[in-house]
Amino acid sequence: MSKSTAERVRERAQASSGPPPVWSGRAIVAGAGALYVGAALAAEVYGFVELTAEAPTQGDGPGGVMLVLPFLTCFGVPSALMVSLCLALPMVSAARWASARLTGRDAWWWVPVLALLPVSAATAVVGVVKHPGAGALAWAWLTGAVLLAGAALVVRDAALHGRRLLRVLGYGGLAAVAVLGVGAAAFGTGLITEYSPPRTNAAGLVGTWTDGHGGTLRLSPDGTAHAENLELRCTGAGTWSYAPDGPTPWDQLVVTEFEPCSFDWRISGAPGHPKLNRDYGEVDDPHWYTLTR
């Protein structure tokens, strides 16, 4: 298909005066749109991954994305605009400068290369401050790199060719439907299985449990229990009971009652290797204190 007169004029103007400037409102909006769509897709994928991971409570799955979508829209859009303005656009400008100096032309692949620098720095800071596991750090690094590099490439494309927001939103919607369909098919056919806690009973819970840091919980067959240096300095004698409060393995509870403290424990782990878990922290951001036999 032959090019239109307007396109040929634009190409001649670009060749004579260099590429169009990066700093424009359309580039900022396009980058923010890419970040918003990318974050929604990442949350959708994480929802499916969450269903396969060992956990004391059942995950929301990709349906949880619908619950956070209003929050993501109200607070995520302004954040996406700031990241697009303060990170994506400077990154595209730096990539254009480095590419021109080293290769003599505006090469697109400089953008993802430079995106790795701030993402790697941020991941390193999180690793030092929060001390998450290596797997969590790897996923965070990969997600951040894809989001930032993708947004910066969209910014570059918008600067060169014009408005791209509607295209980003349209392709993002199609991608969301595709991820949902592929994930549902994988779980529906049994190719991927959802995690479920092991079924147990009171006899299977008798024994000594430890947190690995000096805290122990001893559950006796007669229903008595003894805690030693559990979290919150819980030490003493008491009672325990097994309470299967519902029809699914997720409903199993172990209730312990001591003079200074009482806890409800949820069950996770694998068949033959159960774990006892108690949540602490904020309601919307729980952390888990775990005991193993």
Nearest to residue 275, comparing CAs of 209, 207, 227?
209
Give the C-alpha separation, 267 to 198, whole Å: 8
Residues β-bridged to residue 267: 276
Which of 99 and 1 is assigned the larger pLDDT?
A: 99
Q: What percent of the chain has pLDDT over 70?
A: 92
pLDDT level of residue 116 (50, 70, 90 thresholds): very high
Give the C-alpha separation, 273 to 244, whole Å: 18
3-state secondary structure 23-64: CCHHHHHHHHHHHHHHHHHHHHHHHHHHHHCCCCCCCCCCHH
How many CB atoms neighbour CB 182 within 10 A? 12
Question: Mind listing the pLDDT tens digit for each residue in 165-202?
Answer: 889 999 999 999 999 999 999 999 999 999 999 999 99
Give the C-alpha separation, 34 to 187, whole Å: 28
Average pLDDT over residues 257-265: 88
Give the C-alpha separation, 143 to 120, whole Å: 11
In this prediction the pTM is 0.78
Which of the residue ranges 11-15, 99-103, 202-206, 274-278 would you say has the lowest mean pLDDT? 11-15
Residue 15 pLDDT: 45
Residue 18 pLDDT: 57
Q: What are the backbone dihedrals phi and psi of residue 259, each rounded to the nearest 5 degrees, phi first?
A: -60, -45
pLDDT level of residue 20 (50, 70, 90 thresholds): confident
